[in-house]
Amino acid sequence: MCPRPLPLLLLTACLGLLSGCGGYANTSEAFRKSLGRGAPDQALGRVNEALGVDRPDQLPSEKEADTPLLLLERGTILQAMGRYEDSARDFQAADSMIDVLDLSSDGIGSLGKYLFSDDATLYKAPPHEKLLLNTFNMVNYLALGDAGGAKVEARRLVISSKYLENIGESDARRMLALASYLAGFAFEAAGEADQAMRHYADAYAAGGLPTLDEAIRHLHATRGATDPRVAELLAGGEAEGAPGTADLVVVVQTGMAPFREPVRVPIANAILLTHRDGHARLSAADQRRAQVMATKGLLKWVNYPRLRRVGRRRATGAVQVDGRTLPGGAALDVEGRVLDEFERAVPSLVAASITRLLARAVAGELSQAATKKGSGNGLAGLLVGLAVEGAMVAADTPDTRGWVTLPASVYVARMRVPAGKRRVTVAFGAETQEVMVDLPAGGWKLLNFSAAR
């Protein structure tokens, strides 16, 4: 008698359905590409669809697993469109939902399991995303002229950075130069010179960035603020503020940060990845099991997420005010930081994927043996075993979630310029963007350019 084909058919159907599910990489592709080609309005429509809302001023009625991340994406798109109030609302909503993923673990633990296949759980942000959330929300408030709102965001940033230090994320300090610089600018704009100097000194200690030295000297010369960490800088000279000028800061966000996509690698290569930094993530027993399974043909491939760069960066040529170039330069390499943090996690997440696939390979073996015994048909047993293994491998889809609309780099220019109506121009290679601003004497203004990505 022939074995009943129903189990095999069901498993094969499951395999087809599961293999067609691309996860967040597919969800985000449309709005990521729209923003990258300079169509933020189209990107906004796409992310609203993913959130299940009709308008950009709506928040989802229910919190799904990807809701915090999609709010980050929409906040970035709204910022690129100059809709800073709406962007700030989305960033605040996301901030209230997001926990930070602890990347300090050396073992497989929850880190590898989360990064590999827990895309049904509420999104957790890696350290760089949490810090950038607060940083870019400061940009929103400062672009609105709201120094008070930016100060609140700066305090949140301090809390986040202290938390990251407590869990061993000392590398996060490299992310703090730009954030601390913007925090210093916010407190300086609010007239709190001592607090502003503390934040400027934080930025200086974190490695500094263009125009920071001039800002520190000016604040000291005009308000007497100081900090032991910048004493040597202050001894090297001072800067005076000319009357009838305004403090102009220009933030330029260019390019797109790397995004995650699923990749399949041979099991032998995957085993090497688990201890490429010299720390063993797989036990000797699991490594032997994986090798035996591979020899028997039951474990051939491992799926895990990898980062893919988005073309080449768009270089910022110059920022000019009425034809006069403002001093400035690269302030933050977002792409480099994303790559660094992800590479730290690769051994753990690959090890987690192997341990999960070992269990699936065993299930395939058991299904094959059971079917062969019950039907007396070795071929049927082989097919069922392969179907079970294939369906489970397909179900174990890598988590490709990540903040994909982040810029690749951030450029900052700053100068005290004559007050009045001024034309500000930003060059992106052969392309330029231009805006007219009215700068108040003795006042300040922050402009953000992030639509040209």
Tens digits of residue pLDDT in 348-371: 878 877 877 776 665 545 444 444
What pLDDT score does 370 carry? 47
Model pLDDT for residues 56-74, shown as the tens digit of each residue: 999 998 888 899 999 999 9
pTM, entire model? 0.84
The token pair at 410 is 């951030």
- Give Cβ neighbours of residue 20 (< 8 Å, ≥ 6 apart): none
What pLDDT score does 286 carry? 83
Q: How confident is the model over 197-211, as a mean pLDDT?
A: 95
CA torsion angle for 227, 231, 237, 242 (degrees, to 10)?
A: 0
> Is residue 71 one of the residues assigned to a domain?
no
What pLDDT score does 191 carry? 96
Model pLDDT for residues 116-152, shown as the tens digit of each residue: 445 667 788 888 898 899 999 999 999 999 999 999 9
> Is residue 55 one of the residues assigned to a domain?
no
When mean pLDDT is compared across 242-251, 295-304, 413-422, 425-434, the lowest value belongs to 295-304
- pLDDT classification of 380: cutoffs 50, 70, 90: very low
What pLDDT score does 340 carry? 86
Residue 63 backbone zone (phi > 0: left; psi -120 to 50: alpha; other: beta) = beta
What pLDDT score does 173 carry? 65
pLDDT over 90 percentage in the chain: 48
Side-chain-facing half-sphere of 347: CA atoms under 13 Å:
16
What pLDDT score does 238 carry? 62
Chain-centre distance for alpha carbon 280: 27
176-189 and 212-223 helices, crossing angle to 10°: 30
What pLDDT score does 298 carry? 66
- pLDDT classification of 174: cutoffs 50, 70, 90: low
CA torsion angle for 203, 151, 78, 48 (degrees, to 10)?
A: 110
Residue 204 in this model has a pLDDT that exceeds 90: yes
When mean pLDDT is compared across 78-92, 184-198, 238-252, the lowest value belongs to 238-252
Q: How confident is the model over 269-297, as a mean pLDDT?
A: 82
What pLDDT score does 49 carry? 95
Question: By the 8 A CB rule, do 71 and 57 touch?
Answer: no
Residue 184 in this model has a pLDDT that exceeds 60: yes
- pLDDT classification of 107: cutoffs 50, 70, 90: very low
Helical (H) or strand (E) element with 263: strand 259-266
Q: How many domains does the chain have?
A: 1
Neighbours of 380 (CB within 10 A): 20
From the list 51, 50, 168, the residue with the least C-alpha distance to 111 is: 168
> Is residue 397 one of the residues assigned to a domain?
yes
The CA-CA-CA angle for residues 152, 153, 157, to 5°, reads 120
Residue 38 in this model has a pLDDT that exceeds 80: yes
- Give Cβ neighbours of residue 37 (< 8 Å, ≥ 6 apart): none
Model pLDDT for residues 75-85, shown as the tens digit of each residue: 999 999 999 99
Question: By the 8 A CB rule, do 177 and 203 touch?
Answer: yes
- Phi then psi for 81, rounded to 5 degrees? -90, 0
> Is residue 149 one of the residues assigned to a domain?
no
More confident residue, 372 or 188: 188
Q: Which segments of 118-253 does DSSP mark as H helices, in order? A: 127-143, 147-166, 176-189, 193-205, 212-223, 231-235
- Give Cβ neighbours of residue 263 (< 8 Å, ≥ 6 apart): 303, 304, 305, 306, 398
The token pair at 181 is 């610089």
> Is residue 116 one of the residues assigned to a domain?
no
3-state helix, strand, coil in the chain (%, to 5): 55, 15, 30
pLDDT over 70 percentage in the chain: 76
The residue segments making up the domain with residue 422 are 1-23+242-453
- Give Cβ neighbours of residue 1 (< 8 Å, ≥ 6 apart): none
- Give Cβ neighbours of residue 393 (< 8 Å, ≥ 6 apart): 301, 303, 357, 360
Sign of CA dihedral 138, 159, 229, 330: negative
> Is residue 356 one of the residues assigned to a domain?
yes
Sign of CA dihedral 239, 242, 247, 252: negative
> Is residue 110 one of the residues assigned to a domain?
no
84-97 and 127-143 helices, crossing angle to 10°: 150
The token pair at 151 is 């100060």
What pLDDT score does 69 carry? 95
**Residues facing 434 on adjacent strands:** 425
From the list 340, 343, 337, the residue with the least C-alpha distance to 409 is: 337
- pLDDT classification of 347: cutoffs 50, 70, 90: confident
Question: By the 8 A CB rule, do 143 and 446 touch?
Answer: yes
Q: How confident is the model over 280-299, as a mean pLDDT?
A: 79
- For all residues of the chain together, what is the average pLDDT? 82
Q: How confident is the model over 185-204, as a mean pLDDT?
A: 97
Residue 302 in this model has a pLDDT that exceeds 70: yes
Using DSSP's 3-state secondary structure scheme, residue 168 falls into coil
* Alpha carbon distance, N-terminus to C-terminus of the chain: 65
What pLDDT score does 220 carry? 94
> Is residue 255 one of the residues assigned to a domain?
yes
- pLDDT classification of 311: cutoffs 50, 70, 90: confident
What pLDDT score does 278 carry? 77
What pLDDT score does 166 carry? 63
What pLDDT score does 74 carry? 98
What pLDDT score does 102 carry? 58
